[in-house]
Structure 1
């Protein structure tokens, strides 16, 4: 019998939202019937039996198309919806090859360990016996098991990090595997964008090079991705191979889905402050759990995940204690055993709700879910739709976007139709970014001497010039057989982190019991586990007693107070190289490379739940520096005029900087946290008032270049953001930033509004 709206576990929740106007927009996606095709002719009989025994007697149309494309020898990228069965698109061709050719090998790459575990379970369910011998080979694999896996397994499931640091540099131990590698699968390819994607592109090019060296041929590369605007371009940029086929006609059934845009209520009309989106989401998750709806809640930050999970657990402990332990957080940084336990509870249905970062946005099978709650805009429409796609696997579902105070969130709430109708973005990578590409050339030289005439097929036409540059800085040496490492004993892969600017991490140790709780990336350590910071883990709060820089450990102890911490930073920029420049809107606009220097100098304690400041505490931490891409513009005196007194100038520039950073994600596929900024009334190199906006990752990947190209729109969107906000003097919905290293001081909303208006008038 069909479920009526009144029976849906979220009906009362949505009704309450309509009544008090927190529900700012509601939409509906109808169900979609499947398009089915028979199993293709010619599949190995063992695979056909495995599929039918698993209940797969037919394929969806896109699965059948993908199998046909692979059979023709063409690489493909498939971009169908969440839970559409994309994994069968590559599993059938890969498993058919392994069953048909006893010596064949396959390599599956996943961005997370959880995905590899999930795929291993899926492959095992086909019961293909000795024909298919899968094994996971990643950082959690015991060292005593690794040699046996290399010899026995013909399907390796791993991640780009292990391929980069553990497999390619040790290719001699994998010679039989590379000699017979026929199929490479790259799943969740949309994740490989920006800095991470630029690194992975270099790793895949190194993989192709090693395969050719051993076998004289390249493996067939099969990709799966969420829906993005440029899947073929991304696939070809990632691999360096042309001719990818695009499989995008989704033949899977679609669930009926309610879509809700939810804006927390205003708590102060003058300041336009709103109730916390995390508190609002916690109430929503609690309500759904009590009603029996299996729910996933996505929160951007690890800290936010822990906070929402704690709020839900506390509410359930008071009113429904039996449900408290059926809600859990999930994020990176947990130990392997903790992750496996949580995944098993998700699959079994023991957990009614999980609060997670984007670690579970991807294709891990976590069973039937009724509701997906996304707390604040995840940075891209592609990610939002992927997260929403988690809801409705039992024929109906609820997908909610809970807006934060963030300026972009409130911009979308004022223009909900514009938000819901936004097209998915294009994923941008730049594998030749000097600070990314050069270290990978060193890794390649460690694997084999680089012969430019041969290897430019993998590393591009500038291979010789790049190698000669590395000779000039003392890293490579040119010999008769090619460019080699100047220090043969060096192991450059150990120094290159694919996911952050530094390879090292800090261990977080609970001194009350001696337990290692997890790890924190070194690039984040000074802002998250400095002395006195409040650190959240597995729903519990800890106070950092000491950040030991020499041993790279953060020593923490259990914490029961009612405050949290926010770091205060000092930032400086130095212009290294000018790449482009133009006059526009009354300013001199530039784009180029800058050095950014940051020092965490203090932290502020803020009271829960009203976010009032308690005090400011001084820190003594070393400076961190990195080089990156930036746009900057210099404002002339005519634009500022005499009615901008000096005491308002800094606040005006600072507020304008914040507003432009807030809307830059409308131009580039990025998140506000991927961007940094600095505004100053006099910069030593420009000699006058200047605003800098820079890529927040070393080297940069083109985010601020998009801002430079579309600067006029950037200024227009920023003016629209400020002028539409009803607050009196600036709030989190327009010019205040949650990531401001100056704790949002000083800010002059009216000054920024006037300055941007004058720029538009020009």
Structure 2
């Protein structure tokens, strides 16, 4: 804070200054006599200074020697004796990395614990496995005398023909768990069917990975087991060169390694390759937890289409640990899956959970990465978004850390270069999105710095570290957000909140594209048409499909043109990103409008660009032109939006406490009104606003739920200021219900949007993807817990600002620049909900101002 004041103790002029905390409070302290005090936020610095004077006169101020005690009492930092106890319990006294981090004067150490898992339980010797002796010999050649118990259980169930999902951390042996029985069964098929088309070969199993990089990373491991048995495995994907593709088709492998994008494309184009899929008897889906939301909905239908060509296949999935693995895989694959759980093997890891009291999460992350790098620990810093990963690398590089970005949206070549540099030791750190949660081999990792994610995903990330048995470190950097504030006070809840994966195969837009692709694969019979009858009628009305002789056939030219731009990883139109006339990336709508509007600052591979112009006209492929920004440009941007919901159809209703809640299909009319400039280094949720002369407009269909919150000031209040308080209380309630629910739903808040309709009390929470992604349903199913947690977050946050702060009522996704928020009213709303006050949604929703 720039203001400086006279000290009431030593009378020095301009010696007192104030530091603002993220919860809105201020610490006043004198640079000379060191008198200090913590005061609530006030509308102006002068008013806060008067509070400081009052504290001094009443004996509430402290001396510099007491500042640490004052900060301990206010739970800004942990008492030293508790830090000593943490380090002693973890046997980490004297550890240079932990000593420096744990004794920071800027953070509250929530927890420190040592993770020392016992090794997985062993099963029978490999010679006792019910498999061909040749397989046992291959395992013995790899030095494997016994399988782990979970591997043996998986092998036996798969050999019995069951559909199985194996859940275990990264590098725990999942590949052997599904490769061994599948190789045995391929041998049985070869013996039974004979050398079908021996000269050409036959695809007998399809191994699917979510990325091309992971397919190529895993191929050597598959071949190591398969080739000694005379079983061929090969990759075919979008990066396969033409010459290699021709050799592949001339002599098909027994095991095809690919991705769902390739299967989708070739089936709907009826290629030579697609016709070779009909002999496949086994489908192996690794990293199944990746197929959530819209991506998972598409995968569900692609598997159904694949089985139209190949017949019913045995499905084996492998996944990171999920508490709802059986339920999720039943939805994803459309059948019951038996779950086999395993655990990984790694060295001793110290896990520290840290809350940044006097700074931003990003500042904390920077110090963690820098401190780790200075101690020569090879580090991965995980962020939850493209922007977060880019900013982490941007700031860390400024501090001299050798770091690069690894995220989706970069070219495969750029990501491979980062992986190779890290593996060879040329980089000391990587700033990554969840792309590196997958099983890519990037060499030794000593330390993990993670944003807040469900604990089972944190364990998955930690599985990256200490694989050689060395001492490892994991740091969970909590943030300046409602859920972090909650976990600061309730760390045990964090350790029990696990991710619940979700997807929605009934997404009507996914179904429309996938049923059309299904008709391109092969005409749809009358029997097959029954489950997709309504979708077929829509496609017939659009002229995409015709009906004749009890069969539904696609107009292939029109259908393939319609499907040409469709991505199974998203829905709807995209905005191309161009730099110097070349396409360097793209983003899907509606998110693209918020990131690529004119004058938006866009991060790409660690550099910042400005959107020179967004071309967004009808009947034309939209694109954004980028221009390079100078390195000292002081801002990045956040869009200002306005949204209006319309209920199309109600699917179901229920009561949560006394609140009526309806899950429904929605139409969202979205406008981007302008943007706010956020100053680099000032990690706040508000900024200086710039409004467009003509807003950008877009409408889309999705799914979500609606409820009417109780009025905090009573039904009869009509005064304008009371109406403002109500409106702002509902807006704050909408924020905290979404932001505070993240771990209850497994991080689904990232995929959600919210709207509160003025003073009506109507609050909408919806899927941020066109057509829906299942996130709002995950929250709808657990809304009672979300309401309870929202009340705890609001009540326990120590901020005294009427509007609240980033740790309770603010949302970093707020389209209103976090204005129109009222924390006391939101507390009353949530108390009335928890107290069982009854409300009904009603019919009248027009005429209110929406807050998002």
Q: What TM-score, normalized to structure 1? A: 0.87
Q: CA RMSD in A?
A: 3.0
1:522-558, Cα deviation, whole Å (9 max, x unpaired): 4432222322222222222222323344562432214
CA contact (8 A) 1:467 1:476 kept: yes
- 1:669 Cα shift? 3.5
CA contact (8 A) 2:640 2:675 kept: yes
Check if 1:554 corresponds to 2:625: yes
Determine which of 352, 375, 385 is the counterpart of 1:260.
Answer: 352
1:155-209, Cα deviation, whole Å (9 max, x unpaired): 3322222222x22213441256313213221001112222221221111111111
1:344 corresponds to? 420
Cα distance change, pair 83–475 in 1 and its aligned pair in 2 (3 A) = same
Cα distance change, pair 710–57 in 1 and its aligned pair in 2 (3 A) = closer
CA distance in 2, matches of 1:78, 1:149: 30
CA contact (8 A) 1:349 1:367 kept: no
Determine which of 261, 265, 271 is the counterpart of 1:161.
Answer: 261
1:269 corresponds to? none
Determine which of 378, 395, 415 is the counterpart of 1:311.
Answer: 395
2:362 corresponds to? 278
- 1:754 Cα shift? 2.0
Cα distance change, pair 152–528 in 1 and its aligned pair in 2 (3 A) = farther
CA distance in 2, matches of 1:168, 1:54: 38
SS at match of 2:809: coil
CA distance in 2, matches of 1:551, 1:430: 28
Determine which of 610, 632, 650 is the counterpart of 1:578.
Answer: 650
CA contact (8 A) 1:137 1:156 kept: yes
Determine which of 621, 624, 627 is the counterpart of 2:701.
Answer: 627
CA contact (8 A) 1:106 1:183 kept: yes
SS at match of 1:622: strand
2:591 corresponds to? 524
CA distance in 1, matches of 2:531, 2:791: 42
Cα distance change, pair 714–131 in 1 and its aligned pair in 2 (3 A) = same
Q: Who wins on radius of gyration, i.e. which is larger?
A: 2
1:272 corresponds to? none
CA distance in 1, matches of 2:278, 2:418: 38
Of the structure 1 ranges 298-307 and 492-501, higher mean CA displacement relative to structure 2 is found in: 492-501
1:133-282 correspondence to structure 2 within 5 Å:
133-143=232-242, 145-154=244-253, 155-164=255-264, 166-174=265-273, 177-212=276-311, 218-242=312-336, 244-250=337-343, 252-266=344-358, 275-282=359-366
Determine which of 145, 151, 155 is the counterpart of 1:67.
Answer: 155
- 1:16 Cα shift? 2.0
1:79-109, Cα deviation, whole Å (9 max, x unpaired): 1222211112222334455677363432221
Determine which of 728, 736, 740 is the counterpart of 1:651.
Answer: 728
Check if 1:330 corresponds to 2:418: no
Cα distance change, pair 104–582 in 1 and its aligned pair in 2 (3 A) = closer
Cα distance change, pair 61–589 in 1 and its aligned pair in 2 (3 A) = closer
CA distance in 2, matches of 1:503, 1:122: 38
Of the structure 1 ranges 102-111 and 730-739, higher mean CA displacement relative to structure 2 is found in: 102-111
CA distance in 2, matches of 1:505, 1:551: 5
CA contact (8 A) 1:331 1:357 kept: yes
SS at match of 1:293: coil
CA distance in 2, matches of 1:752, 1:4: 44
SS at match of 1:755: helix
Cα distance change, pair 331–437 in 1 and its aligned pair in 2 (3 A) = same
Check if 1:5 corresponds to 2:92: yes
SS at match of 2:689: strand
- 1:303 Cα shift? 1.3
Determine which of 386, 389, 399 is the counterpart of 2:474.
Answer: 399
Check if 1:599 corresponds to 2:671: yes
Cα distance change, pair 227–585 in 1 and its aligned pair in 2 (3 A) = closer
Cα distance change, pair 724–499 in 1 and its aligned pair in 2 (3 A) = same
Check if 1:728 corresponds to 2:815: no
- 1:300 Cα shift? 0.7
Cα distance change, pair 344–668 in 1 and its aligned pair in 2 (3 A) = same
CA distance in 2, matches of 1:674, 1:626: 15
1:279-428 correspondence to structure 2 within 5 Å:
279-316=363-400, 324-325=401-402, 327-375=403-451, 377-378=452-453, 380-395=454-469, 396-422=471-497, 424-428=498-502
Check if 1:106 corresponds to 2:205: yes
CA contact (8 A) 1:66 1:89 kept: yes
In structure 1, stretches of 5+ residues that fail to align are 213-217, 267-274, 317-323, 683-687
SS at match of 1:367: coil
1:480 corresponds to? 549
SS at match of 1:568: strand
1:451 corresponds to? 525
1:500 corresponds to? 570
SS at match of 2:297: helix
Of the structure 1 ranges 335-344 and 514-523, higher mean CA displacement relative to structure 2 is found in: 514-523
Q: What TM-score, normalized to structure 2? A: 0.78
SS at match of 1:236: helix
CA contact (8 A) 1:105 1:180 kept: yes
1:231-275, Cα deviation, whole Å (9 max, x unpaired): 223333222234x3322144x534322221111123xxxxxxxx2
Cα distance change, pair 175–635 in 1 and its aligned pair in 2 (3 A) = closer
SS at match of 2:399: helix
Check if 1:660 corresponds to 2:753: no
Determine which of 815, 824, 836 is the counterpart of 1:741.
Answer: 815
CA distance in 2, matches of 1:589, 1:245: 34
1:288-310, Cα deviation, whole Å (9 max, x unpaired): 11111121111011111111112
SS at match of 1:736: coil
CA distance in 2, matches of 1:223, 1:648: 51
Check if 1:756 corresponds to 2:834: no
Determine which of 567, 573, 588 is the counterpart of 2:639.
Answer: 567
Check if 1:617 corresponds to 2:690: yes
CA distance in 2, matches of 1:409, 1:339: 31
CA contact (8 A) 1:328 1:354 kept: yes
1:679 corresponds to? 756
CA distance in 1, matches of 2:432, 2:578: 20
SS at match of 1:235: helix
Of the structure 1 ranges 647-656 and 3-12, higher mean CA displacement relative to structure 2 is found in: 3-12
In structure 2, stretches of 5+ residues that fail to align are 1-89, 196-201, 838-852
- 1:645 Cα shift? 1.4
CA contact (8 A) 1:590 1:633 kept: yes
CA distance in 1, matches of 2:181, 2:226: 16
